[in-house]
Amino acid sequence: DTGVSQDPRHKITKRGQNVTFRCDPISEHNRLYWYRQTLGQGPEFLTYFQNEAQLEKSRLLSDRFSAERPKGSFSTLEIQRTEQGDSAMYLCAIRQGGNYGYTFGSGTRLTVV
Amino acid sequence: TQLLEQSPQFLSIQEGENLTVYCNSSSVFSSLQWYRQEPGEGPVLLVTVVTGGEVKKLKRLTFQFGDARKDSSLHITAAQTGDTGLYLCAGAASGGSNYKLTFGKGTLLTVNP
């Protein structure tokens, strides 16, 4: 149990379909992050929430991507009109403040065929 | 853009050997973290270093933060097969308030029995 639950763990979708991922921190944390990791690379920052406010978005997050955190607890990441280049591990993380690092979820592995 | 370069990219050693992994940047970081990631899982935080020149020990793992806070190293003594995994370094930018992390590409360590 990592403290962050992500659902689903794996998703296979056809190109052009929409997909939605969910991230549930076990306890309340005001800062929540989404990262994307492709094979052979480290995680890359996508977006960041402080409570329900989305404060920063990476240029990696095209118009097809949207993220929400409606009540400042769980978060969703939606990808519309998926492309093969969207295939990656999508990671959600929380930060406990101070000099503590992130606690990551187990990720959602997306495969676009 | 802040970049973190990790070396070596791949490392295969025998159980009982010692090893060092490096993480270098031209940028100054307010803190640097090391994570270990297993296949199909999210990264797990090992340590956070904050002060230039800081050395932290975690059992057989020794972490060092460079004096100028631009680089770090991870030394493993008497490696065990359970140390196998992807080791990622990640830095938080100086002066940033969002604590967004920049990750290196990682060092894939294989410890053979």
**Which residues from A are below 8 Å from B44, CB to CB?**
2, 104
Percent of chain B with pLDDT strictly greater than 70: 94
Please list, in sequence order, all residues whose beta carbon lies within 8 angstroms of the beta carbon of residue A53, skipping any fewer than 6 positions away. none
CA torsion, points A105, A35, A84, A59, in degrees to nearest 10? 160
Q: Are B77 and B13 in contact (CB under 8 A)?
A: no
B41-62 per-position pLDDT tens digit: 999 999 999 999 999 999 999 9
Selected residues 22-81 of chain A with any CB under 8 Å from a CB in chain B: 31, 33, 35, 40-45, 48, 50, 55-56
- Cα maximum dimension of chain A: 42
Structure tokens at B6: 């990790």
**Which residues from B are below 8 Å from A35, CB to CB?**
103
Q: Is B81 helix (H, G, I), strand (E, B) or coil?
A: helix
Dihedral of CA A94/A98/A100/A101: which sign? positive
- Give me the numbers of helices (H) and strands (E) for chain B, helices first please: 0, 11
Q: Report residue A60's pLDDT band, with 50, 70 and 90 as the boundaries.
A: confident
Q: Which of A55, A101, A107 is nearest residue B42 as measured by Cβ atoms?
A: A107
Residue of chain B minimizing CA distance to A93:
B42
Do the strands B10-14 and B107-112 form a parallel or antiparallel pair, or are they unpaired?
parallel
Nearest chain A Cα distance for residue B42, angstroms: 4
**Which residues from A are below 8 Å from B35, CB to CB?**
101, 104
What value, to the nearest 5°, has the Cα angle with vertex B9 and ends A102 and B54? 50
pLDDT at A92: 97
Q: Does B29 touch chain A (CB under 8 A)?
A: no
**Which residues from A are below 8 Å from B102, CB to CB?**
45
Q: Are B44 and B86 in contact (CB under 8 A)?
A: no
Nearest chain B Cα distance for residue A56, angstroms: 8
Q: Does B101 touch chain A (CB under 8 A)?
A: yes
Q: Give the residue from A47, A51, A102 with the most B CB atoms within 10 Å of its CB, the best one to mutate.
A: A102
- Cα maximum dimension of chain B: 44
Contact B102 A31 (CB under 8 A): no
Cα–Cα separations (whole angstroms), residue A56 to A23, A36, B17, B103: 18, 15, 43, 17
Mean pLDDT for A52-60 is 90
Structure tokens at A26: 């076990």
d(CA A47, CA B13): 37
In this structure, of A51-65, B16-30, B76-90, the range with the lowest mean pLDDT score is A51-65
Contact B88 A43 (CB under 8 A): yes
Residue B85, pLDDT > 80, answer yes
Residue A85, pLDDT > 90, answer yes
Q: Are A65 and A79 in contact (CB under 8 A)?
A: yes
Please list, in sequence order, all residues whose beta carbon lies within 8 angstroms of the beta carbon of residue B93, skipping any fewer than 6 positions away. B2, B27, B29, B30, B100, B102
